[in-house]
Amino acid sequence: MMTATTASDLCFFASADDDLAYRDAGTGDLVVLVHPGYVDHRYFDDQIPALVSAGHRVIAADVRGHGFSANASKPFRWADDLGGLLRHLDAGPAVLVGACMGAAVATDTALEYPELVRAVVVSGGGTSAFEHSDPWTVERAAESARMLGAGDVSGWVEAFAKNVSGPHRTVDEVDPDAVRRMREMAMHTVSKHTVGEPNWHVPLDDPWSRVPQMDMPVLAVHGALDAADGIDMAERLVQTVPNGRSVTIDATGHFPSLEKPEAFNRILLDFLRTL
């Protein structure tokens, strides 16, 4: 499943550096979904109906430079963008759910704006101080950089698709619809950018040292077939906060909410009922 979203289907927040897009659905306690890098809010198409049916208001945001949100034209921080959106919505505090890059966005926002955050759920990541040492992850990053540096968008999309399978499977062993969805979203986002453009994102300074201050509940959802880095960063987060725990979904990789949506949704809704 992936909706054929157009800009007319979305809401837009007028940030300090042009408009940021988001989908707004349902009513009730607020859950904000933050997608992985290079894709967009449609990554959570399988979660939005389940959350709405359970009585939640759901905001699925497009991070700056992704999907239907504006590209950056000056330095920015993920926490400020999402914090600004939460203040604009005036509907919190929110439960933030983030995958990979989205996990970093959610955690950074909880560190900078704890009054706006009720709880955090992550998979495949921790803070914006990424820790990549696993050889498979390092090679994927290098391959992607080579493709983008050469302006080979199609080659880059194929390299990106390997993140869906992870180090323990081939892309052909993954649900082809999941791979197709990721390819389509990645092509849409990368096509918004040009080779050699500045990277305006500013990460938080030493966020890991501040993680023990996060006093809201934090849940990590691991894919059992994920690369070690994805599991380790999320596990470090829940082991460092005062109120953290983790759960693992078998037979899935870096994107458990995409590959095993029913299992992920069940875990997420069970967690929300404890808040």
Q: Are 112 and 80 in contact (CB under 8 A)?
A: yes
For 133, the enclosing helix (H) or strand (E) is: none
User: According to the model, what pLDDT value does residue 195 have?
Assistant: 85
pTM of the predicted model as reported, rounded to 2 decimal places: 0.96
pLDDT higher than 70, residue 59: yes
**Whole-angstrom distance, CA of residue 145 vs CA of residue 14:** 31
User: According to the model, what pLDDT value does residue 110 have?
Assistant: 98
Structure tokens belonging to residue 231? 């599991």
Per-residue pLDDT of 174-228, as tens digits, reads 999 999 999 999 999 999 999 889 999 999 999 999 999 999 999 999 999 999 9
User: According to the model, what pLDDT value does residue 4 have?
Assistant: 59
Average pLDDT, the chain: 94
pLDDT higher than 70, residue 7: no
Q: Domain 7-132+200-273, CATH 1.20.1070.10 — does that match? A: no
Taking the domains of the chain in order of start, what are their residue ranges? Answer: 7-132+200-273
User: According to the model, what pLDDT value does residue 2 have?
Assistant: 57
DSSP letter (8 states) at residue 41 = G
CA 92 vs. chain centroid, Å, equals 19
Please give the average per-residue pLDDT across 118-124, as a whole number.
Answer: 98
Query: Shortest CA distance to 61 belongs to which of 81, 77, 87?
Result: 81
Torsion of CA 69, 154, 260, 256, to 10 degrees: -70
